[in-house]
Amino acid sequence: MKGLRNAVCIRGRNGSKAVPAPLVFSAGEREFGQKSIAILQLFYIIWCWGQMGSAPFAVGVIDPICKICTRSKMMQKVRNTRVMDMTEGSAAKLLFAFALPIFLGNLFQQFYNLADTAIAGHLLGDGALAQIGATAALYSTITGFAFGLNTGFALVVSRFFGAGDEWGVRRASGWMVVLAAIWAVVLTGGFLVLRHPLLSALNTPDTVMEGALSYITVILAGIPLTMAYNLEAGLLRSVGNSMTPLYFLMFSCGLNVGLDYLFMGPLGMGVRGAAAATVISQGISAAMGFVYIVRNYVQMRFRLEDLKAAPELSGEMFVTGLSMAMMSTIYSIGSVILQSSINALGSVYIAAQVGGRRLVELFMMPGGALSSSCATFASQNFGAGKRGRIAKGVKAAFFMYLAWWIFALFFAVFLAPAAVELITGSQSRDVIANAALYIRVSIPMFPPMGFLVIMRNALQGMRHRIAPLLCSSLELIGKVIFGYWIVPVMGYPAVCACEPVTWVICFLFIAGAAFWWREEFRDLA
């Protein structure tokens, strides 16, 4: 495949090669996008009727917003974005270019998640903070599952793209939409029914239960919009476009902050307003993504006959998506279990772990971005039969993360206490010292963790699903063992050692899996 950024080589149903196809389309194709907007508007009318009791809201608000967004300078800039063919050129340069927008997107996502909490605390006080905070574990699990699910679906699309199979891309895109819609309905219905028992299981105090239920109910009703955005971001990343989702996320973050102040301030909606701001922001971002894709990616337009022609593809995508979703969810479950043991140690250690954990997660972000990049890189090159490039990509990603680790190590040694004080605002020497200990134990063990997440995602891109899932399960088992048996005996030092120990164990497992499949990292004869 040639034509990096500007063109895609495609194949028809019979596998014959076709000419490169430009990715910014004609007036006729744009007319298709206009028609799609009408469908989008109808969807929002239906959704808003059920959630807000106001069809005129959809017509009077969503419609103008869609039109303004699609005609804006930002959208004009986004429209010029091209795909990234990762089967040609320098692996290191491609991975860096692809990973950087994902890293920046993760930073904005952190801001997105913190905005509700920070503004609610400022406007509504500590009670609102407790109401929103009580739902954090549940919300994190849902978003992690949605992200992992759509990332897994997109790996199949990416493989067809790497093979130059346009019909395959179209079929996979279609099944991705269908499966995501089914999961959205299942997750929304299931969590809405179980929201009260789940919050009770998380030991939510009675004093904040009502507010927590009010907040999480709106969030759960917006799961279809969360799924829609993650689906669109996954589709774009599957063809190497990691920049456009960043634009949409930046817009969504800014809108969320503005709506937070409006709903919780002048409109007096309380924590429900914070949730509504999040859902509406995600919905508009999803609308912008939808319009952009139908206008600019003809190879993703599918028909019913495309789905009927490849029903077996749905099974493969279901398994791949569920595998990635479980990887994300298992990590969240393990963290919740470990947190319960930390809570038993007292407020000083809770505050210390929270402060230390936030900084450690910040330094882990480049690893997450590089691992996501490796998944797409591996999938494209696996589809193209260029398996030797996958090994080069893994090495390049790992050495880039090692370079970042040197900087992180310097921070851990010299700046950890000052950073903890800045982040937490704590003046307690015990809190600062224990948070710094958490950082200084975790960051030196980043190399095995970096290889772990990079190789785990690369194997997913190569259609090896069981080994990465087993690896995530080992991580869960490790946190359960530490949470229930080791932390109660050894105390806070065991909290600091938990993840580094599990990283090393999982590293050995995934390294063994990579060695077992070493022949698959060589080009096909």
List pLDDT tens digits, range 282-297: 899 999 999 999 888 8
The larger pLDDT score, comparing residue 119 to residue 275, is at: 275
Separation CA 73–CA 213 (nearest Å): 40
Compute the average pLDDT of residues 77-85: 54
Contacts 24+ apart (CB under 8 A), 407-413: 408/363, 408/443, 408/446, 409/443, 409/444, 409/446, 411/363, 411/443, 412/439, 412/440, 412/443, 412/444, 413/440
pLDDT for res 83: 67
Structure-token pair, residue 513: 């899996």
226 neighbors 146 (Cβ within 8 angstroms): yes
Give per-residue pLDDT as tens, 86-126. 888 999 999 999 999 888 887 877 766 666 666 776 787 76
Helix (H, G, I), strand (E, B) or coil at 165: strand
H-state helical runs in 297-386? 304-308, 312-343, 347-383
What are the tens digits of pLDDT across the range 206-232? 778 888 899 889 999 999 998 998 899
- Place 66 in a pLDDT band, splitting at 50, 70 and 90: very low
Residues 387-409 have a mean pLDDT of: 95
Cα distances (angstroms) measured from residue 471 to each of 53, 365, 397, 444: 46, 20, 20, 21
Question: Dihedrals φ, ψ of 492, to 5°?
Answer: -60, -35
| pLDDT number for residue 405 | 96
Which of 403 and 110 is assigned the larger pLDDT? 403
Position 469 pLDDT exceeds 70: yes
Helix, strand, or coil (residue 365): helix
Task: Tell me what the mean pLDDT of segment 504-525 comes to.
Answer: 90
For the cut 80, the answer to whether the pLDDT of residue 24 exceeds it is: no
Q: What is the pLDDT of residues 409-418, one digit of tens each?
A: 999 999 999 9
Burial category of 243 from C-beta neighbours within 10 Å (exposed 0-12, middle 13-18, buried 19 and up): buried
Average pLDDT in the chain: 80
User: Phi/psi at 124 (nearest 5 deg)?
Assistant: -115, -15
List C-alpha distances in Å: 341 to 50, 209, 440.
41, 22, 21
pLDDT value for 220 = 92
pLDDT greater at residue 54 or residue 370: 370
